[in-house]
Amino acid sequence: MNAPHPQAARNGGESDTRKLFQPARIGDIEVANRVVMAPLTRSRADEAAGDIPGSPMNVEYYRQRSNAGLIISEGTQVSPVGKGYMATPGIYSDEQVEGWKPITQAVHEAGSKIVAQIWHVGRVTHPDLTGGAQPVAPSAIRPNVVAYTRNGKMEVPVPRALSVAEIAEVVQEFRRAAANAIRAGFDGVEIHGANGYLVDQFLRDGANQRTDQYGGSVANRARFALEVIDAVVAEIGAGRVGIRLSPVTPANDLSDSKPQAVFGYLVEELNKRGIAFIHFVEGATGGPRDVPGFDFAWARKAFKGTYIANNGYDRAMAIDAVESGRADAVAFGRLFIANPDLVHRLRHDTVLNAPNPKTFYAPGPEGYIDYPALEAIAA
């Protein structure tokens, strides 16, 4: 940590003592600063070819944002039935692995680091997105959500409850996805345990009403998440593994009767595994931060790895959170969509571009690689 990181000079890091802009270690991953690019679904993979990323436009999008200390990729499905949105990239086929390579290479050439967010949407999908397969979940409980498909907006159907043997197969899919991520040149993975998708569906009792070893008690509901963690850690090492959690979000119609109990237990168990980071969505995803039910300040103290904070942070909040020690790093989503050079802008407190929600999921370069960067600012 004493020697300047190669990216520090480029970012003016040596002249700026605020912690947000200082190098750090996240598990085994050395980062040039503590600004993280949050995972962002952009629906611009080559769907016809098999949900393959890596077009010149995809590479350029990530290259532009490689001023972040760490980039967390858009969610990448671990299997065809784990896909919930149009044109999201996968990480289960050899062609997808090849597709990711120019992206990870461009990010590394620019001095940044990138982990793959590995994702299974569980019940939050529709057969039009999964190649006709019925969605799967811990229990056959339909969420009140819609899926956006080529055939328009659809109510999602009642999912099929996974058998115990099938749960073991999904754990192996996460394991293979992690191995594929390393093959593709990623620095590690973030398991998507948030926002009402499959891992979260097992954790929270609004979706999990199983009566076997995967449901009921807190330990039983956390079993699937921990089996995924253990498999991924065995494959790539704990220092390259993180998880995203959103203990109180209502996203995707999910809820829990006692979030502190289940997520408190999970944090303690994750400590035993020594994983690199937990990435917390503090509050309602993309919405209010003051949702009761979980004590994030407790989690920050209890968790021994890197605490990445997310949800509604602006510049002043992020600088203060890292300076005061309430977080080790801060992830920005929408601000990174609209500001490819976000770290420079935060450092120099300059004007920010506004994101255009109409192009978040639209195909093509507009609203993807055409947000302007400021002229380079002398450090």
24 vs 330 by CB, closer to ligand PHB: 330
**Nearest approach, Cβ of 41 to ligand PHB (angstroms)?**
3
**Nearest approach, Cβ of 195 to ligand PHB (angstroms)?**
4
- The residue to which tokens 């043997």 are assigned: 165
- Tell me if residue 72 falls in helix, strand or coil: strand
6 vs 364 by CB, closer to ligand PHB: 364
The answer to whether residue 149 forms part of the interface with ligand PHB (CB under 6 A) is no
Angstrom distance (rounded) from CA 154 to CA 149:
7
Structure tokens at 57: 């436009």
Residue span 82-111 as binding mask against ligand PHB, x where in contact by CB under 6 A, dash where not: ---x--------------------------
**Nearest approach, Cβ of 201 to ligand PHB (angstroms)?**
13
**Nearest approach, Cβ of 287 to ligand PHB (angstroms)?**
12
Q: Closest Cα partner for 40 from 73, 77, 71?
A: 73
Angstrom distance (rounded) from CA 297 to CA 7:
31
Residue span 190-209 as binding mask against ligand PHB, x where in contact by CB under 6 A, dash where not: ----xx--------------
**Nearest approach, Cβ of 93 to ligand PHB (angstroms)?**
21
Query: What spatial distance separates the first Cα and last Cα of the chain, rounded to whole Å?
Result: 20
22 vs 77 by CB, closer to ligand PHB: 77
Q: What are phi and psi of 278, to 5 degrees?
A: -115, 135
85 vs 263 by CB, closer to ligand PHB: 85
Q: Find the binder of ligand PHB among 13, 75, 111, 367 (CB under 6 A).
A: 75
77 vs 306 by CB, closer to ligand PHB: 77
Q: Closest Cα partner for 79 from 157, 5, 180?
A: 180
Site for ligand PHB in 32-51 (CB under 6 A): 41
Size of the site for ligand PHB (CB under 6 A): 5
Helices (H), 210-258: 218-236
**Nearest approach, Cβ of 85 to ligand PHB (angstroms)?**
5
Q: Is 304 left (phi over 0), alpha (psi -120 to 50) or beta?
A: alpha
User: Please, what is the angle between helix 56-64 and helix 94-109, to 10°?
Assistant: 40
Torsional sign, CA 285, 215, 219, 117? negative
β-strands 188-193, 113-119 pairing: parallel
87 vs 270 by CB, closer to ligand PHB: 87
Catalytic residue numbers, as ranges: 197
Residues 6+ apart with CB under 8 A from 261: 218
**Residues near ligand PHB, by CB under 6 A:** 41, 75, 85, 194-195
